[in-house]
Amino acid sequence: MSKGKVYLVGAGPGDAGLITLKGLRAIQMADCIVYDFHINPRLLTYAKDGAEFVYAGKRGGHHEMSQDEINSILVQKAKEGKIVCRLKGGDPFVFGRGGEELEILYEEGIDFEIVPGVSSVIAVPAYAGIPVTHRKVASAFTVITGNEDLSKQERIFNHIKASNASETMIFLMCVRNLETITNRLIQEGLKPETPSAIIRWGTRPEQKVVTGTISEIAYLAKENKISSPAILVIGDVVKFREKLKWYEKKPLYGHRILITRHLTDEYLILEDMGAELFVFPTIAFLPPDDFTELDKAIENIENYQFIVFPSPRAVKFFFERFLSIGKDVRNLKNILICAIGKETSRNLREFGINADIIPDEHSSEALAKRLKEEFFSIAQSKSDFQSKSIKILYPCSDIAMKDFVEELNTLGIKVDTPITYKTVKPTEHGKRLIRFLREGKITIATFTSPSSFYNLLDILKEDAKEMLKEVVISAIGKTTAKAIQKAGYKVSIIPEKSTIKDMVEAIIRWAQQN
């Protein structure tokens, strides 16, 4: 049995972009990820295939697992020889019980490594435009836990009395004791007019910042329904917020966008514009259970005049099989290659192939029309042309839309459609998606195929209508939009061109106009 190891990783306060490179590497290596409630679910999409997920979070005072149970699972998985990523919010050594968990690992003789994280202590004020120090007003800051019985924590207030009056104070986990904290501070001599800010869900789309004097901040927090998680910042540095606030000014601030396919770089501009991405592929792709049809087509590849690749997945799975049975690109020398969409075309280039045909529109109608034009072109150049002599290979999924195949069949053109890959419905992290939808935390949902939409409905079941009623829907292409509309849902965003890039741009335009 190989020796296991635990990586204690700080994931930052919420924005997925605040994970460190080393933390991301630990996620990618892990056989098992034990994660907390405040973790941005997008980080879990970097896990390798087959990784085990263990939820150990706490929400609203409810513990999914006790600390002893968490310690036990870390020990158990490591002793099974697994690489374990213990993923905690913020920094695991800043009120995160990281030290307690490592002590147990030490006692059990288990190897571990610490990957510090960006703490909410500095990140949350920064996203609110508040520097925790500033040369002109604050040369130090103090971090204090706010979730204990502060009336018994004399040492905290003794420190406050002894500290520099211009020192910034930051209370974490402070909502429950907010009034006690502020009243005691004033009793100990802090001026009632001292600036303060309470920040809820800092660095996330739900971020809410309330400012006021220390004497009124508890009242203002109640008025504005501030609940956990939140931090309190006290000091003159709060005055800089009006000048330095930046996060709330982003065009997509406040939006959490559901991505129902695997994340690609084209989507990342949405994060740059202030949105948070909730990545939940409703479709996963695997090799077919039976390669008989595909192998037969590959062995007789010279009999085809055209190969039509409907997606990047089709390219990937086709060529993996094509090369594995001894073929290479030289076997395709007399075949015209069609790629549906620019992304599919890019994937073909990775195998040294430039597509001969790239339909302008990603739809079955456009594809059939373009292929007909190509056939007529061939007919004009060859006096002996007959449509029945043309054979097309269409490597596709087990649920492929084949409208254009039927249209070509009516012309007497033979189209072979071997199953090249199959689709499955992932359910991992479905509970969190359902909770986010129920709580109104998803503002925009994107779909790139009818099946991505149908699979989401299947996951949501009878509650789908209710959960999606306030969600703005974006769909690529007329085929996908029609499928969604036929199911009784409104599609608000349809890009002119059927590409991820154009859909992203359409979402940004929509947000700027609404």
**Residue 256 near residue 186, CB atoms below 8 Å:** no
How many angstroms separate the Cα of 453 from the Cα of each of 233, 420, 460, 473? 43, 22, 11, 10
Give the H or E element holding residue 179. helix 178-187
Q: How far apart are the first and last CA of the chain?
A: 58
Out of 29, 58, 425, 501, which one is annotated catalytic? 58
Residue given tokens 């335009």 in the structure block: 509
Q: Token digits for 217?
A: 């901040």
Angle at which helices 292-299 and 312-324 pack, to 10 degrees? 70
How many angstroms separate the Cα of 27 from the Cα of each of 78, 88, 191? 15, 12, 46
Long-range CB contact pairs, 342-348, < 8 A, 24+? 342/499, 343/264, 343/312, 343/499, 343/500, 344/309, 344/310, 344/311, 344/312, 344/314, 344/315, 346/312, 347/312, 347/315, 347/316, 348/309, 348/315
Task: Confirm whether 173 is a catalytic residue.
Answer: yes
How buried is residue 90: exposed, middle or buried, by Cβ count under 10 Å (0-12/13-18/19+)?
Answer: buried
Whether omega before 229 lies within 30 degrees of 0, making that bond cis, reads: yes
Q: How many CB atoms lie within 10 A of CB 107?
A: 10
Angle at which helices 364-381 and 403-410 pack, to 10 degrees? 30
Strands 58-59 and 62-63: antiparallel
Lay out the sheet containing 306-309: strands in order across: 336-339, 306-309, 391-393, 414-416
Task: Confirm whether 403 is a catalytic residue.
Answer: no
Out of 15, 31, 36, 91, which one is annotated catalytic? 36
Distance between CA atoms of 140 and 433, rounded to whole angstroms?
41
How many angstroms separate the Cα of 380 from the Cα of each of 77, 387, 455, 511? 68, 12, 45, 49
Residue given tokens 């359910």 in the structure block: 427
Task: Confirm whether 36 is a catalytic residue.
Answer: yes
**Residue 148 near residue 171, CB atoms below 8 Å:** no
Q: How many CB atoms lie within 10 A of CB 72?
A: 13
Angle at which helices 430-438 and 450-460 pack, to 10 degrees? 80
Out of 77, 88, 169, 173, which one is annotated catalytic? 173
Catalytic residues: 36, 58, 173
